[in-house]
Amino acid sequence: MILPSPLPVLRTERLVLRRPIATDITDRHAIGRDPEIYRMLGADIRGLSPLTEDQARAWVESIVAHPAAWVIEFQGRAIGEILLDNFVEADRRAGLIVGILDPQALGKGLGTEAIRAVAEFAFDTLALHKLSMRVLGFNTRALRAYERVGFIREGLERESALIGGIWHDDVIVGLLKRDFDALRAEPKGPAIPAPALRS
Ligand SMILES: CC(C)(COP(=O)(O)OP(=O)(O)OC[C@H]1O[C@@H](n2cnc3c(N)ncnc32)[C@H](O)[C@@H]1OP(=O)(O)O)[C@@H](O)C(=O)NCCC(=O)NCCS
């Protein structure tokens, strides 16, 4: 997969998706670790320790080191990250990973906005055919956000994640270019009924 270098900045109505800058370390450190968000990311939140400055720096460095990762910037501050990963060139597909880490920024449609922008880049610039992701079955907010972009629930992997001593199912969702094209052709965005992805 030939990625453009540098990775382009992606702009949406309210977000800038861009490569890291020095102030991202301070922003990441200020956000810290929200237990609910970490639970959605599959962490065992028992004994979750505060984020150190070194860990904030490591977070930024991991984005710098990744060829297809963007910092999600909202109102001039870094609030999370989004990336394309696990490219399978022969099948023109990749995985998508997103994490808004600032609890104040959740549930405002920002995740949907970021995922849409990266899906557009994946299909229009990289000419991918498909994006997939694995989501914890209890992460209903994420499932709904993916559904809004056009992701379809393709499968369920039973008890694939052991979190805090409890087994959880993973839901596999996928977005074909034609699914995305059909939704973006609609004048007012998706009108899929909410229960379509829910288990
Ligand atoms: C998943 C994520 C990117 C979604 O972004 P977001 O900006 O929070 O979500 P949006 O506001 O775009 O959309 C959320 C949808 O879920 C609904 N929703 C919000 N909170 C919800 C909740 N607690 N439970 C169920 N649905 C919820 C919203 O109403 C909205 O649906 P609607 O447009 O039909 O009303 C973001 O929440 C996130 O990064 N969370 C933490 C990490 C994570 O879960 N990453 C994904 C791992 S696979």
How many angstroms is it from 38 CA to the middle of ligand 1? Answer: 14
Domain layout of the chain by residue ranges: 10-131
> What pLDDT was estimated at residue 193?
56
Mean pLDDT along residues 160-181:
97
- The secondary structure of the chain as a DSSP string is ----SSPPPEE-SSEEEE---TTHHHHHHHH---HHHHHHTT---TTPPPPPHHHHHHHHHHHHH-TTEEEEEETTEEEEEEEEEEEEGGGTEEEEEEEE--GGGTTSSHHHHHHHHHHHIIIIIS--SEEEEEEETT-HHHHHHHHHHT-EEEEEEEEEEEETTEEEEEEEEEEEHHHHHHHHTSTT-----GGGG--
Instruction: Give the residues surrounding ligand 1 with Cβ less than 6 Å away.
Output: 37, 40-41, 80, 98-100, 106-112, 133, 135, 139-142, 144-145, 148, 194
pLDDT given at position 47: 86
**39 C-beta neighbours (distance < 10 Å), count:** 17
Closest of 104, 187, 197 to residue 150, by C-alpha: 197
* Residue whose CA is at the smallest distance from ligand 1 atom 24: 141
pLDDT of residue 173: 98
CA of 147 to the centre of ligand 1 (A): 10
Q: Which among 38, 141, 168 is the best mutation to test ligand 1's pocket, defined by most ligand atoms within 8 Å of the CB?
A: 141
Q: Are 196 and 179 in contact (CB under 8 A)?
A: no
Tokens (6 digits) for 176:
């074909």
Q: In angstroms, what CA-CA distances link 176 with 41, 47, 113, 163?
A: 24, 39, 18, 30
CATH number of 10-131: 3.40.630.30
Q: Is the pLDDT of residue 19 over 80?
A: yes
Indicate which residue's Cα is closest to atom 13 of ligand 1: 145
Please say whether the beta carbons of 173 and 153 come within 8 A: yes
Which residues pair with residue 98 across a beta bridge?
82
What does the pLDDT average to over 153-158? 98
- Residue 55 in this model has a pLDDT that exceeds 50: yes
pTM, to two decimals: 0.94
